[in-house]
Amino acid sequence: MELPFQLLLHVLFVLSFIFSIFMGSCGFVSLENNLSSSLFPRNFLFGTASSSYQFEGAFLSDGKGLNNWDVFTHKTGTILDGTNGDVAVDHYHRYQEDVDLMEHTGVNSYRFSLSWARILPKGRFGKVNRAGINYYNRLIDALVDKGIEPFVTITHYDIPQELEERYKSWLSPEIQEDFRYYADICFKYFGDRVKYWVTFNEPNVAVICGYRTGLYPPSRCSDSFGNCSYGNSEREPFIAASNIILSHLAAVDVYRAKYQKNQGGKIGIAMNAIWYEPFSNSTEDKLAAERTQSFYMNWFLDPIILGKYPAEMHEILGPDLLVFSKYDKEKFKNGLDFIGINHYTSYYVKDCIFSACEQGKGSSKTEGFALTSAQMNDKSIGEPTALAWFYVHPQGMENIVTYIKDRYNNIPMFITENGFGTSESSYPTTEYELNDVKRVEYLSSYLDSLATAIRKGADVKGYFVWSILDNFEWNHGYSIRFGLHHVDFATLNRTPRGSAFWYKNFISEHKNLAGISYAQV
135 close to 92: Cβ distance less than 8 angstroms? yes
Burial grade of 145 (CB within 10 A; 0-12, 13-18, 19 or more): exposed
Strand, coil or helix: 18: helix
Backbone φ, ψ for residue 461 (5° rounding): -115, 0
Q: Which residues carry out catalysis?
A: 417
Q: How many CB atoms lie within 10 A of CB 377?
A: 9
**How far, in Å, CA of 237 to CA of 297, rounded?**
13
Q: Is the peptide bond before 229 cis (omega within 30 degrees of 0)?
A: no
**How far, in Å, CA of 302 to CA of 449, rounded?**
25
**How far, in Å, CA of 195 to CA of 129, rounded?**
23
Distances (CA, A) of 27 to 106, 381, 399: 22, 20, 18
**How far, in Å, CA of 303 to CA of 188, rounded?**
27
**Cross-strand pairs, 464:** 47
Cα angle 247-152-165, degrees, rounded to a multiple of 5:
45
Strands of the sheet with 370-373, listed across from one edge:
275-278, 346-351, 370-373
Q: For 469, which DSSP code?
A: B
**Cross-strand pairs, 200:** 155
**Cross-strand pairs, 399:** none
443 close to 24: Cβ distance less than 8 angstroms? no
**How far, in Å, CA of 216 to CA of 239, rounded?**
16
**How far, in Å, CA of 517 to CA of 521, rounded?**
7
Nearby residues of 474 by Cβ (< 8 Å), 6 or more positions away:
54, 79, 157, 216
Please say whether the dihedral angle defined by the alpha carbons of residues 452, 453, 459 and 460, taken in this order, is positive or negative: negative
254 close to 183: Cβ distance less than 8 angstroms? yes
Q: How many CB atoms lie within 10 A of CB 1?
A: 12
H or E element at residue 31: helix 29-32
AA identity, residue 297: M
**How far, in Å, CA of 97 to CA of 306, rounded?**
43
**How far, in Å, CA of 260 to CA of 238, rounded?**
30
**How far, in Å, CA of 507 to CA of 497, rounded?**
16
